[in-house]
């Protein structure tokens, strides 16, 4: 059952008294989610599924000690026992380093357009229709098999804190992810995300995936080495996920970021700006407040090539002596939606600007060898092509992307004008991304291992 906002508030009312009795501070977030998923394979819809789930999330504090736990709504009768158990646990914990109290409510919160689409509740058949459109387009564009997922969520949320925050939100999000196959090794992939069903162009992503699958036939091996590279929108999204994660002040502090000691320094060309934009209209990840009740906003991570900001919750902001950014998770701060500013290269000009080099259409299973230095590797698939003098010569197999994120950022030489909002399960840190394609000089590739 998807609870309405006023119903959630009624659930919360008796809990706040119990929390005040036992703890110095608290935050209580209830999420009621209605999810719909359509999966398809071998040109047919294979699964249609609808489910709902309501979760009660508790953050409790006592003597600068904090503890977090969650319960399903179906287990709400266990709340008194859970609170007693939390109290016993928290009393044995050490005080939190760099403790800061929960922030007071702000005077104003952002107004974000197009973040709730009731169509996803009222017309579930349109979600199935989107999947059917993707299949039909992919097959008509020459793919032998089409597979993928359409997933839509409706979220009703209420946040209450002991500092006086009382916020609620209705939010929708939907993404479509498609893979096209012409044979076992000739594949293509594309995805698209939004808050509104009408913003998903199923024909576009099915056509892109099918085109790459067809061009991937008869792939040839290419010598490992250094190649100028065009990362298409879907591949660019995978790389920008890494930037969003590295910008978390928690990761900087913990030694899991290639941005350590680089704040205020030039790390990319002047035409590179990357924002965490939680206020993006129609944004898959957009929202008006973070988990501590702080208003969200646009945060430039990189502005005109300079690393400008880390993303904070109250604890990291205190340790870094910095301002709150509206990125709080209760445990660590994180990006909501990464957005890269567009460039000036039209999509049909990208290959000419590339000249000679590689096109990479998807990057999966990215793993860091050294987070601080930024060395990583990833599987490249679903469309890898060798280009000479602006023309695709053949598909490539047998390579693995093995490079360094700071070096990639520093060597961006061209940025596309057209952008797309992307979300799919291969994004390592689950951050939705709005990005153009971009070109990078001297990208390193090694031989793929089987």
Please state whether 365 falls in left (phi above 0), alpha (psi between -120 and 50) or beta.
Answer: left
195 lies in the same domain as 326: no
320 lies in the same domain as 186: no
Range of the domain at 339: 220-447
335 lies in the same domain as 373: yes
Tell me if residue 314 falls in helix, strand or coil.
Answer: helix
Q: Give per-residue pLDDT as tens, 162-190.
A: 999 999 999 999 999 999 999 988 999 99
Residue 449 has pLDDT above 80, yes or no: no
Q: Give per-residue pLDDT as tens, 305-338.
A: 999 999 999 999 999 999 999 999 999 999 999 9
Q: From 190, 215, 240, give the residue that closes a domain.
A: 215
Angle between helices 5-22 and 79-91 (to 10 degrees): 40
Answer for the pair 143, 181: CB distance below 8 angstroms, yes or no: yes
232 lies in the same domain as 339: yes
102 lies in the same domain as 187: yes
Per-residue pLDDT band for 76 (boundaries 50, 70, 90) equals confident
Q: Give per-residue pLDDT as tens, 338-391.
A: 999 999 999 999 999 999 999 999 999 999 999 999 999 999 999 999 999 999
CA-based nearest residue to 318, from 247, 246, 253, 245: 253
Residue 231 has pLDDT above 90, yes or no: yes
Q: Give per-residue pLDDT as tens, 9-63.
A: 888 888 998 899 999 999 999 999 999 999 999 999 999 999 999 999 999 999 9
Q: From 215, 249, 268, give the residue that closes a domain.
A: 215
Q: Give per-residue pLDDT as tens, 385-444.
A: 999 999 999 999 999 999 999 999 999 999 999 999 999 988 999 999 999 999 999 999
- If one counts the domains in the chain, the total is 2
Instruction: Determine the pLDDT at residue 332.
Output: 96
Rounded to whole angstroms, the Cα distance separating 305 from 269 reads 5
Q: How far is CA 212 from CA 26, 51, 141, 245, 359, in A?
A: 51, 34, 11, 29, 11
300 lies in the same domain as 210: no
Q: Name the pTM for this structure.
A: 0.95
SS (H, E, C) 88-146: HHHHCCCCCCCCCCCCCCCCCCCCCCCCCCCHHHHCCHHHHHHHHHHHHHHHHCCCCEE
| Average pLDDT score, the chain | 96
393 lies in the same domain as 375: yes
194 lies in the same domain as 240: no
Per-residue pLDDT band for 1 (boundaries 50, 70, 90) equals confident
409 lies in the same domain as 355: yes
Instruction: Determine the pLDDT at residue 448.
Output: 86
Rounded to whole angstroms, the Cα distance separating 110 from 114 reads 13
192 lies in the same domain as 305: no
Per-residue pLDDT band for 450 (boundaries 50, 70, 90) equals low
165 lies in the same domain as 20: yes
CATH code for position 114: 3.30.2290.10
Angle between helices 202-215 and 125-140 (to 10 degrees): 30
Q: From 195, 215, 235, give the residue that closes a domain.
A: 215
322 lies in the same domain as 390: yes
Rounded to whole angstroms, the Cα distance separating 182 from 330 reads 45
């Amino acid at each position: 059952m998807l609870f309405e906002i006023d119903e959630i508030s009624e659930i919360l009312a008796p809990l706040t008294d119990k929390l005040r009795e036992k703890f110095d501070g608290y935050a209580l977030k209830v999420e009621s989610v209605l999810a719909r998923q359509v999966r398809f394979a071998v040109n047919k819809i294979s699964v249609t599924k609808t489910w709902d789930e309501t979760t009660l999330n508790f953050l409790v504090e006592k003597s600068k000690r904090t503890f977090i736990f969650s319960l399903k709504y179906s287990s709400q009768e266990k709340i008194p026992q859970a609170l007693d158990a939390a109290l016993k646990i928290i009393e044995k914990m050490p005080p939190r380093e760099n403790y800061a109290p929960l922030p007071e409510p702000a005077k104003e919160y952002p107004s974000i357009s197009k973040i709730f689409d009731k169509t996803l509740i009222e017309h579930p058949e349109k979600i199935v229709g989107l999947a059917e459109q993707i299949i039909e387009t992919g097959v008509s564009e020459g793919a032998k098999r089409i597979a993928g997922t359409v997933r839509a969520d409706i979220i009703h949320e209420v946040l209450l804190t002991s500092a006086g925050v009382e916020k609620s939100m209705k939010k929708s999000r939907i993404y479509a992810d498609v893979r096209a196959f012409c044979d076992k090794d000739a594949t293509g992939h594309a995805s698209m995300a939004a808050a509104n069903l009408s913003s998903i162009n199923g024909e576009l992503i099915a056509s892109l995936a099918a085109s790459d699958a067809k061009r991937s036939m008869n792939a040839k091996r290419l010598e490992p080495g250094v190649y100028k590279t065009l990362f298409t929108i879907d591949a660019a999204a995978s790389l920008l996920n890494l930037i969003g994660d590295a910008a978390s002040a928690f990761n900087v502090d913990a030694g899991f970021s290639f941005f350590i000691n680089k704040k205020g320094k030039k790390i990319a060309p002047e035409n590179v700006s990357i924002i965490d934009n939680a206020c993006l209209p129609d944004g898959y990840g957009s929202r008006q407040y973070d988990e501590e009740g702080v208003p969200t906003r646009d945060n430039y991570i990189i502005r005109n090539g300079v690393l400008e900001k880390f993303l904070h919750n109250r604890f990291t902001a205190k340790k870094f002596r910095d301002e709150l950014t509206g990125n709080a998770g209760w445990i660590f701060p994180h990006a909501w939606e990464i957005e890269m500013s567009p460039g000036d290269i039209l999509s049909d000009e990208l290959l000419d600007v590339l000249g000679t080099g590689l096109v990479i259409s998807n990057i999966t299973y990215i793993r860091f060898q050294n987070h601080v230095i930024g060395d990583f590797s990833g599987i490249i698939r679903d469309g890898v092509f060798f280009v000479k003098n602006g023309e695709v010569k053949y598909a490539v197999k047998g390579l693995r992307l093995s490079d360094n994120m700071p070096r990639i950022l520093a060597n961006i030489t061209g940025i596309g004008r057209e952008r797309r909002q992307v979300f799919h399960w291969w994004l390592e840190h689950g951050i939705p991304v709005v990005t153009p394609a971009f070109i990078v000089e001297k990208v390193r590739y090694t031989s793929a291992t089987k």
